[in-house]
Amino acid sequence: MGRWADSLSRGVKFGLDDLVVYISLIALVAFGVAVRLLPMKWGIYLDEFDPYIQYKGAQYIVENGFSAWYTWFDPTRWAPWGTDQSTAGLPGVPFTGAAVYLLLNFLGINVPLFDVVVFFPVFAGGVIILLGYFLGKELVNRGVGLLTSLILAIDSTAIQRTSLGFFDTESVGMIGMLVALVFFVKSLRGKTVPYAVISGLGLALMAISWRGFLYTINFLALYVLIMVLIGRWSRRMTTSFTIVSSITLFAVAATPAYGIGMLISPYTIGSFVAFFVCIVRTLADEIPDPKKRTRFTLGVIISVLAVAGVLTLSGVFGDISGKFLAIVNPFSRAEEAVRTVGEQNPSTWSHFFLTYRSLVLLLPVGVFYAVRRFSDEAIFIALLALTALYGAGSFVRLMILAAPAIAIAAGYALTSIITTVRPVLKHELDRKSKASQLSKYYGFFTIALIAATLMPIVVDSAGLKYADRPAMIVSASTGLSQEIPDWIEALAWMRDNIPQDAIVGCWWDYGYWINVMANKSVIDDNATINGTQITLVAEALLNNESVSLDIFRQLNVSYVVVYEPFTLVSTNPPLALPPWYILGDFEKSTAMMVWAGYNVSDYISAVTINIGGTLYSYPLPAGPKAANTTLYQLLFYPYIEAYNQTLGITISAPQNYDLVYRSPSNGWVLVYKINYP
C-alpha cells in the first residue's frame, strides 16, 4: 500500500506540472477563439472578399458532389466567357467546408452551410494555436510552445486570416503547414514512416488549399540540403523527406489548378534537388573511405546545384512570375496585379515592430544562439526564422508565416539567455557566499525577463484591436468599426431587381460580392485571372462614353456598379468629397491607370478648397481628361452642380447611363443601367 501511495505521489507531482502547462494551453486556445468571435456582435457574415467564392464552391459541392468540382464550368464569372472553376481555384477550402457540413448533418447537427463556413475559421484558429504549441515544444521546450501559442492567439495577421467569416486559404492551409512541420521534426527522431506520412498529408492539404505551400516544401528542401552539406545527414532524413515530398507532389499533380506541369517548374525544382542529393548521400555510404565519401558527396552536390541553378535561371523549367517573383525578388514588382493589390505589398519595419514588439529584437538573438549551438533543431529554427522573415518582408500577406517562426526564435533566445545567466549568477553568489539565494535571484530574473518581453505585446496588441470590427461587407468596405449598410442594401436590390440574365460591370474588387450575394454575372472579380479583361474594364471606366460603351457592348454588360464612400461637406447644393483614407473607386482609379498605362496627372490634380475657414490642397477629378471620364461621370453625378459652382470643376453628366439605384443610407453604391444608342 505504501509503495502504491509513493508511486501515486510521484505521478501526481509530475501530473501537476503537466496540468499547469495544459491548463495554460487550453486558456490560450479559449482566449484566441473568443477574440476571433468578436465580430459576431455585428452579425454572422463572411468577411473580406475571397471567402465568398470559397462559400460558393462549398455550396456547389454540397449540391452536386465532390467529383463535380473537377468539371465545374461557371458562366457567371468573367462573363461573357465564363470560368473553368477547377483550374481557376484550389479545391481544399471548399472541400473542407463541404466535408464539415456533411459530417455535421450525418451526426444529426443541422446547421446551414453558410454558418458552417463562417464559424470554421474560428475553429481553425484554435487548432492553429494548439499546433503552434506542439511545434515550439518539439523544437525547444514546452515554455516556447506556450509562447508560440500566445503569439498565434493575438497576432493581427493570424487573427485576420482565422477570424469569424474569413473562410479562405490560410484557415485550412496553416493547419496543414503546422502539421507538416511538427511531424517532419518528429519523424527525424523515430517512427519515421508514420510521422512522415502524416507530415506529407498535412503539406498536401496545404497544397490543395493555399499556394503558400511552396514556401513550406522549399523550406524543408533547403533544410535537407544544408544538413547534408554540413554532414548531419541520416537515412531517416532521406526516408522522411522522400515520403513528405512524394505525397505533396502527388497532390499537386492531381489538382487541376496546378497540373503535371507544376511538378517540373522553378517553384518545385528545389524538392527534386533535395531528393536527388539525399539519394546521392545514401549511395555514398557504400564508399568505405570517409575522405573519399565526403569528396564524392560534395562534388556531386555542388554539380547538381550548379546545373539546377543554371537551368532554372535560363528558364528551362519555366519562368517565375507575378506575386511569386515579387516574393523571391521584392524589387521586381512590374506586373499590374502585384502593384495594385494591397496585400501583395512588402511589409515595413514599423509593421513588424508594432505587431511583435520586443520579439523582433529577440529574433536575431535567437538566430545567433541557434547558429552558435548548431544542433539539428537549432538549425531548423534559424532557417525557419530567416526564411519566414524574408517571405513576410517581401509580401505582407505572408506575415502569418512569420508569427510562429518569430515566436519560436524569440523563445529560443529567452531560453538561451536564461540558461546562460544561471551559471554567471551562481558564480557571483558563490563569490559572495550567498549560494542559498540562487533560486530566488534566478527566479526573479526569469520572471522579469519574460514579463518585460510579453507585456508590451499583450497590453498593446494590434491583433486584439483589429479583431474588434465588423465584417467588411457590414462596414460597407471601409474597415471601420461601425455598421454601414450601403453594400448590404445594394446587393439585396441587385439580387431582386436586376434581370437574372444580365451581366454587371464593375471594378474587380466587388466581383465576388455581386456574383455570390446578388447572384449576378460579372465581367471580372477578385481572382484577377484575366489581366486582358481587367485592362479592358480599366480602359472603359477611364475613357469617354463612346469608348466605354464600345467595350461594355463587347462584354454584353447591361448594368454598371460604382462605389465611393463620400464625405458630405455641404447640403445646398449637395457636395461630397472622396475621403482617400478609405478606398473607393475614385481612389482606386489610380490603380486602374496602372492597368491601362495612363498618367494620373491627366485625371487627378490638387485643388485648393475651403473647409470651415481652412484651406486644403485636395486631389480631385480636375485633370484635363477628367470631365469626360466615364467613371467620374458615374461617381460624381449626384454632386455635379456643387463641383461646378463651388469648386469650379466641370464633370459632364452621363448620357447613356441611367442611375437606377443609389444606396439609401449614404448614397455610396450606385447602379447604372446602360442605354446603348
Kindly state whether residue 276 falls inside one of the protein's structural domains.
yes
State the pLDDT confidence band at 321, using cuts at 50, 70 and 90. Answer: low
Is the same domain home to 451 and 385?
yes
Interatomic CA distance for residues 356 and 347, integer angstroms = 13
Q: What is the structure's pLDDT at 12?
A: 47
State the pLDDT confidence band at 431, using cuts at 50, 70 and 90. Answer: low
Kindly state whether residue 179 falls inside one of the protein's structural domains.
no
Question: Could you tell me which of 651, 659, 607 has the C-alpha nearest to residue 629?
Answer: 651
Strand, helix or coil for residue 471:
coil
In the DSSP assignment, the letter for residue 38 is G
Q: Answer positive or negative: Cα dihedral of 652, 658, 661, 664.
A: positive
Are the beta carbons of 565 and 476 closer than 8 angstroms?
A: yes
Q: Which of the given ranges, 143-152, 163-172, 352-361, 456-465, has the highest pLDDT on average?
A: 163-172
- Amino acid at residue number 341: V
* Final residue belonging to a domain, choices 287, 319, 351: 319
Q: For all residues of the chain together, what is the average pLDDT?
A: 88
Interatomic CA distance for residues 303 and 121, integer angstroms = 45
C-alpha cell of residue 451: 514579463
pLDDT at 450 over 50: yes
SS3 track for 562-613: EECCCEEEEECCEEEECCCCCCCHHHHHHHHHHHHCCCHHHCCEEEEEEECC
Is the same domain home to 512 and 440?
no
Is the same domain home to 386 and 446?
yes
Is the same domain home to 520 and 568?
yes
The average pLDDT across 559-576 equals 91
Kindly state whether residue 29 falls inside one of the protein's structural domains.
yes
Kindly state whether residue 174 falls inside one of the protein's structural domains.
no
CATH for 644:
3.40.50.12610
Question: CA dihedral in degrees (533, 535, 541, 547; nearest 10)?
Answer: -80
Interatomic CA distance for residues 465 and 327, integer angstroms = 28
Percent of residues, the chain, with pLDDT higher than 90: 62
Question: Could you tell me which of 88, 229, 241, 100 has the C-alpha nearest to residue 171?
Answer: 100
Is the same domain home to 665 and 601?
yes
Query: Based on the structure, what is the number of domains in the chain?
Result: 4
Interatomic CA distance for residues 209 and 302, integer angstroms = 34
List pLDDT tens digits, range 224-262. 999 988 888 889 999 999 999 999 999 999 999 999 888
List pLDDT tens digits, range 209-219. 999 999 999 99
The average pLDDT across 560-571 equals 92
Is the same domain home to 397 and 515?
no
In the DSSP assignment, the letter for residue 258 is T
Are the beta carbons of 326 and 283 closer than 8 angstroms?
A: no
Kindly state whether residue 180 falls inside one of the protein's structural domains.
no
Kindly state whether residue 595 falls inside one of the protein's structural domains.
yes
C-alpha cell of residue 228: 547534408
The torsion region of residue 54 among left (phi > 0), alpha (psi -120 to 50) and beta comes to alpha
- Amino acid at residue number 299: G
391 to 364, 597, 603: CA distances (angstroms):
16, 29, 36
Are the beta carbons of 28 and 130 closer than 8 angstroms?
A: no
Kindly state whether residue 334 falls inside one of the protein's structural domains.
no
Task: End-to-end CA distance of the chain: give it in Å, rounded.
Answer: 99
Question: Could you tell me which of 674, 89, 658, 157 has the C-alpha nearest to residue 399?
Answer: 157
Residue 232, C-beta contacts closer than 8 angstroms, at least 6 positions apart: 376, 379
Are the beta carbons of 364 and 357 closer than 8 angstroms?
A: no
Is the same domain home to 249 and 136?
no
Interatomic CA distance for residues 520 and 507, integer angstroms = 15
Tell me the β-bridge partners of 670.
562, 662
**Phi, psi (rounded to 5 degrees) for 671:** -120, 125
C-alpha cell of residue 87: 483550374
Is the same domain home to 356 and 390?
yes
Residue 338, C-beta contacts closer than 8 angstroms, at least 6 positions apart: 322, 323, 326, 344
Strand, helix or coil for residue 288:
coil
C-alpha cell of residue 256: 487541376
Strand, helix or coil for residue 470:
coil
Is the same domain home to 202 and 144?
no
The average pLDDT across 634-638 equals 97
**For residue 559, what is the enclosing H or E element?**
strand 559-563
CA Rg, the chain, in Å?
29
Strand, helix or coil for residue 324:
helix
Is the same domain home to 61 and 93?
yes
Interatomic CA distance for residues 34 and 31, integer angstroms = 5
* Final residue belonging to a domain, choices 423, 440, 467: 467
- Look up the pTM and report it: 0.90
User: Which runs of consecutive H residues, i.e. helices, occur in 230-268?
Assistant: 235-253
Kindly state whether residue 429 falls inside one of the protein's structural domains.
yes
Is the same domain home to 280 and 352?
no
List pLDDT tens digits, range 363-385. 888 899 888 988 999 999 999 99
Is the same domain home to 543 and 460?
no
**Residue-range definition of the domain harbouring residue 409:** 343-467
pLDDT at 104 over 60: yes
* Final residue belonging to a domain, choices 128, 151, 167: 167
Lowest pLDDT segment from 72-86, 285-299, 609-623? 285-299
Residue 600, C-beta contacts closer than 8 angstroms, at least 6 positions apart: 590, 593, 623
